[in-house]
Structure 1
Amino acid sequence: MYKIMIIEDDLRLCSEIEKGLSKWGFNLTTVKNFEDIFNEFVHNRPHLVIIDINLPCFDGFYWCQKIRVISKVPIIFLSSRNTNMDIMMAIKMGGDDFVTKPFSMDILVTKIHAMLRRVYSYGENLGDVIEHNGVVLNINDSTLIYNENKIELTKNELRILLLLMKNIGKIISRDRIMRILWDDDTFINDNTLTVNVNRLRKSLEDIGIYNFIETKKGQGYVIL
């Protein structure tokens, strides 16, 4: 079942869209916190986004551009602002289509179906991300984003973070991490893992992420 995220400040219109799309069996989620749309997107991982231009705090152009940093998910702008400049800006920021208010629900549904069919029928990889406390790990391009800052991760850094962020609150033993990093019979000096973790911590600190990975003496590492 496809999941669609609706980012619309007009509660009445939002309700109408939900009612119209629910008839087609879509899994719908509506943004309530307009100050943290990016993290809501990461948490919900929708297959398609419907977004207005006029939103509280930041406009739809801003959030579209933020989403595009980590995902190629289809984005449809839905707005009463219909000048050529608005439409051009929507596409420039990463939008895939533009529907002008007032609109026909039938037209919107047709566009959604066409876009989902075109994008997902060919198995396009739209990105796989994990978020925790504002730290966003993009698995597909081996990058990490925090407060507008972005760093590229080495293969081992990605593997360490992926394991820890998939197991938030759980202590992962050093032996388990080493088995994942070096999945062969080669002998690995225990200090090699320490070096990798220390380098990762330094990379995180360079973009303002401190004490993200905790050491549990005699047990392993954990992200809380």
Structure 2
Amino acid sequence: MSILIFVIILWYTGLFFQTFFLHRYAAHQTFTMSKMAERVCFFLTWVFQGSNYLSAYGYGVMHRMHHAYADTEKDPHSPKYDANVFSMMWRTKNIYQDINQKRIAVADKFTKNVPQWESFDKFASSRASRLVWAALYTLFFIAFATAWWQWLLLPVAFFMAPIHGVIINWFAHIYGYRNFEVSDTSKNLLPFDFLMMGEGYHNNHHSHSGRANFGVKWHEIDFTYCIMIVLDKLRFIKLNKSTS
């Protein structure tokens, strides 16, 4: 039971900071926050993503490119232009690293106001940091695993952020339903998105990419947006009224 609880906590906390901080803040700027709050989010993203840490800059820029070039040859990740999910994720990894390490030229429209904390990113993205987190996960499994099958969840902990990416960038462009006709293949995975905290309403998001609330229909509850409303009331963030 301890292993399942641990993996569930990693799943939802890592996912929250991916969708709240990297996606809705860094890429789309659906809300504002102070520089101190931004630094806190950088740190908490590292804590909860651990070995899967993603840079706000690398993610934000790449995600803007995904919207601009969705399901074309310039899209960083698309089932239409990759033979399988593994080749798509490998290409995504390479593009992300090229962007994050500034090895390729990127148009200003993709980098404008994307937050970056270079010194922290260098540390959090380092091999040493990832290996330390992987070692801590392994020690937790050694201490608390009570059945052989629980060890099958260790790779999930190691690669949770890429798994989240696969669910949205691959499966949400193949399976699901559409509320809006858009020029790409984006779909909503689940009518009630308990799995991806609102990220699964992918067609809604592609149709209205500037909205902080990814849900549209009454049953499409966006749990991340619900938390954002609370954070707005607490004045940790300030939601842009035009994006709700």
Shorter-chain TM-score tier: under 0.3
Tell me which of the two structures has the higher relative contact order, counting C-alpha pairs closer than 8 angstroms and 6 or more residues apart.
Answer: 2
Larger Rg: 1
TM-score where L is the length of structure 2 = 0.22
